[in-house]
Amino acid sequence: MVLFFRTGRYALHFQQKGDDYGTILSYLPWLKDYFPEATNYRIMREANLRMIDLVESVLKRYMVSYDENHIRCFLDRYIKEMNNSTPLEGETFTFQYDQIVMILWDMLLPTMSGSAIQLSMLLERLLLNPHVIDEVQRELDDIVGRGRLPTLDDRVQLPYTEATIREALCIDTLVPSGIAHVALENTTLRGYDIPKGTFVMLGLDVIHHQREVWGDPENFRPERFLDEQSKLSLAKDVSVPFGAGKRLCAGETFSRNTLFLMFSAIVQNFNLHVRPGDKLSDLGKRVTGVVTSTEPFWINFEPR
Ligand code: HEM
C-alpha cells in the first residue's frame, strides 16, 4: 500500500496493488518450483530477504547493546531467554535467533499493510455513508472537543466511534478466510472427521455476512453494536475480524488502538469528500485474496 498526501489539496490517494500478502502460493506452495516467475515467487522471495536484512540490522544492534541487568523491551527479554534457557528433554527449543527474526517480521509487515488497508476501507465506507461521519463528529465534539486530539482514555466514552470501527472490521473482513492452519492430529468437529495434516481455514467473511445473525450484513450500520441506551454492547459483537482460538491475531489490541487513534483524529479534524469529478467507489471492485483491499481512490480532506 502506498499513501500519497497532497497537502495543497488535502487529498489522499490509497493504492494497493493486488494481494501482496499471499497468493495462490499460500495454498499450493509447490507451484513455486515450476513457475517461480509467473507465481511471483522469485520477486516475493527477494522482497522477503530484504525485509529480513532490515529486521536483522535492528536485532543485531539490540544484541550488541544487551545488558541483562537493564532489560529495555520485549527484544531484551527474548535475548535473555535465548541466552539463559535450556530446552526440556525431548522439547523443541523455541527461543532461537531465527524465531525472533520471524516474529519481528510478522509484527512489522501487518503493521505497515494490514492496519493501513483496514483504515482505507473504513474511509471508503464513510464516503459512501456521510451520515456516519456526521454522527462520529457529533460524538467527538461532545466528548473530546476540538482543542486536543482523542486519546485511548476517551475510547470508552465514544461508543458510536467504537461501533463504527467494529462495523468496518466486520463488513470489510481484512483477512476473509483467516490464515491457513493445519490439523496436527486426527480430530472431529461437530461430527466431521478432520484427518491429521488437513488444511483448515476459517470463513471469517462468511461469519460476518450471515443474514440470520446480522439481519442486514450488507449495510454499513454501526448502530448494530449499540444497545437501547446507545452504549456499546459487547454481547452484540459476535464478529471475529482477528480470528479465533489460540492462534488469533497477535496484533489485535494494537490494531484496535491504532485504528481508533487514526480514525478519530482524522474525522475530528476533517470533513471527507470525494474529489470533484470522481465517482463514488464501486465496492464490487475490491481486490480480494488472503487480504482484501481497495481499488486506488482519492479523498478530499477539508479542514473543519
Ligand atoms: C486491522 C488489522 C488487522 C486485522 C483485521 C488482522 C487479522 C488477522 C487474522 C484474521 C489473523 C489470522 C488468525 C487466525 O488464523 O485465526 C491474523 C494473524 C496474525 N496477525 Fe493480524 N490483523 C491485523 C493487524 C495485525 C498487526 C498490526 C499485527 C502485528 C503487530 C498482526 C500480527 C499478526 C500475527 C503475528 C498473526 C499470526 C498469529 C499466529 O499465527 O499465531 N496483525 N491477523
Mean pLDDT of 264-283: 92
User: Cell digits for 66?
Assistant: 544487551
> Which region among 93-97, 246-250, 265-269 has the lowest average model confidence (pLDDT)?
93-97
Decide: 126 and 182 in contact? Cβ < 8 Å: no
pLDDT at 8 over 90: no
pLDDT at 282 over 50: yes
d(CA 241, CA 39): 28
d(CA 242, CA 2): 23
| Helix, strand, coil percent content, the chain, rounded in steps of 5 | 45, 10, 40
**pLDDT value, residue 297:** 87
Residue in 208, 120, 216, 122 with CA at minimum distance from that of residue 165: 122
User: Cell digits for 132?
Assistant: 456516519
pLDDT at 243 over 90: yes
Q: What is the pLDDT of residues 91-106, one digit of tens each?
A: 776 788 889 999 998 8
Cβ–ligand 1 contact at 292 (below 6 Å): no
pLDDT band at 276 (very low <50, low <70, confident <90, very high): confident
**pLDDT value, residue 83:** 87
Decide: 118 and 255 in contact? Cβ < 8 Å: yes
Mean pLDDT of 137-147: 97
Centre of ligand 1 from the C-alpha of residue 273, in Å:
31
pLDDT band at 48 (very low <50, low <70, confident <90, very high): confident
Q: At 159, which helix (H) or strand (E)? A: helix 159-171
Q: What is the pLDDT of residues 105-129, one digit of tens each?
A: 888 888 888 888 999 999 999 999 9
**pLDDT value, residue 127:** 95
User: Cell digits for 224?
Assistant: 448494530
pLDDT at 7 over 70: no
**pLDDT value, residue 1:** 37
Mean pLDDT of 169-176: 94
Residue in 117, 115, 97 with CA at minimum distance from that of residue 19: 117
Percent of the chain with pLDDT over 70: 91
Atom of ligand 1 nearest to the CA of 245: 16
Centre of ligand 1 from the C-alpha of residue 180, in Å:
12
Mean pLDDT of 288-298: 83
User: Cell digits for 216?
Assistant: 442486514
Centre of ligand 1 from the C-alpha of residue 175, in Å:
8
The residue to which cell 470522481 is assigned: 278
Q: How many CA atoms lie within 13 A of 139 on its CB side?
A: 22
Q: What is the pLDDT of residues 174-211, one digit of tens each?
A: 999 888 889 999 999 999 999 999 988 889 999 999 99
CATH match for 113-304 among 1.20.120.450, 1.20.140.10, 1.10.630.10, 3.30.56.10: 1.10.630.10
> Which residue has its alpha carbon closest to ligand 1 atom 2?
115
Percent of the chain with pLDDT over 90: 60
pLDDT at 16 over 70: no
Q: Sketch the domain layout of the chain as residue ranges.
A: 20-109, 113-304
Over the chain, what is the mean pLDDT?
87
Cβ–ligand 1 contact at 281 (below 6 Å): no
> Which residue has its alpha carbon closest to ligand 1 atom 42?
251
Atom of ligand 1 nearest to the CA of 246: 41
**pLDDT value, residue 186:** 97
> Which region among 10-19, 131-140, 164-173 has the lowest average model confidence (pLDDT)?
10-19
pLDDT at 63 over 70: yes
